[in-house]
Amino acid sequence: MKRAWPRDAAALLREQDELGAAAPEPWRASGEPAIAGCFVCFPRGFTGAGDRGDPAWAAAAMGGATAVVSGEADAPYEPGILALREGRLLEAAVRALSGRPDVLLADATGRDHPRRAGLAVHLGAVLDLPTVGVTHRPLLAHGDWPGPEQGDRAPLLVDGEEVGAWVRVRRNARPLAVHAGWRTDPDAAVAVVLAACGRVRTPIPLRDARRAARSARARARG
């Protein structure tokens, strides 16, 4: 069944409860997976957290190719229900790629969420793609930082459940919060992020998507 994005907060909460309780078939990489990243940005200089109707630029990147779409935010910014504001735009950007990825990186949380269904989970369910969330800090989860070496990791926990990991992607660099998403567990999520980072701290497909979205915003704003 194809999923659509809910149009109000009440419907989104119900959908999150369903997704959080779901147990889709776990994904494991076969060979070298095609990894995509997606990112959305909004105008600079606005005051407040963000409103419905804000101009938005969403991009997806994979293998050096990018796709960009523009539109408007579907909802104000509110932690925990980010999918209502950004989901439709990110879906459109990923669908605009010339090929279909094996796994998708999103600047969002996944199982680290009050209903275990952050934007990375919801986006994966809508696109029918395994997803991994990558952020600078957790939403609810807690855990000590990992060791200093590249590849060191430490669990991120919510109520005793491991929902992701702190991951050191470069020696002595600040670790990233890596989130299990749709059809991924913490082990698969960490493996994807380490494979996608190369020599930089931000996974390359996510970095490329961020750059493309921000470039589109700069062109549009003159």
Of the chain, the percentage scoring pLDDT greater than 90 comes to 86
Of the chain, the percentage scoring pLDDT greater than 70 comes to 98
CA–CA separation, 179 and 106 (whole Å): 10
- The helix/strand/coil state of 164 is strand
pLDDT for 44: 82
Average pLDDT over residues 81-94: 96
* Dihedral sign of CA atoms 38, 67, 51, 44 in order: positive
Residue 195's pLDDT band (cuts 50, 70, 90): very high
Cα torsion through 197, 200, 202, 206, rounded to 10: -70
pLDDT for residue 46 is more than 90? no
What fold characterizes domain 35-220? archaeoglobus fulgidus dsm 4304 fold (3.30.2170)
CA–CA separation, 166 and 128 (whole Å): 26
Name residue, tokens 């969330």.
Answer: 133
CA–CA separation, 162 and 116 (whole Å): 11
CA–CA separation, 23 and 31 (whole Å): 24
Average pLDDT over residues 149-178: 95
Task: Name every residue whose Cβ is closer than 8 Å to that of residue 40 and which is 6 or more positions away in sequence.
Answer: 56, 57, 58, 59, 86, 89, 90, 93, 107, 213
Task: Give the residue extent of every domain in the chain.
Answer: 35-220
φ, ψ dihedrals at 212, nearest 5°: -65, -40
Which residues partner with 134 through β-bridges? 178
Cα torsion through 101, 134, 83, 117, rounded to 10: 100
Least confident of 79-88, 119-128, 148-157, 196-205: 196-205
Q: How large is the angle between the packed helices 119-127 and 82-95, nearest 10 degrees?
A: 40
DSSP letter assigned to residue 24: P
CA–CA separation, 51 and 42 (whole Å): 10
Q: Global pTM?
A: 0.95
The one-letter amino acid at 126: V
pLDDT for 1: 56
Q: Which of 108, 62, 58, 51 minimizes the C-alpha distance to 85? A: 51
Say if CB 106 and CB 86 are below 8 A apart: no
Cα torsion through 8, 9, 10, 14, rounded to 10: 110
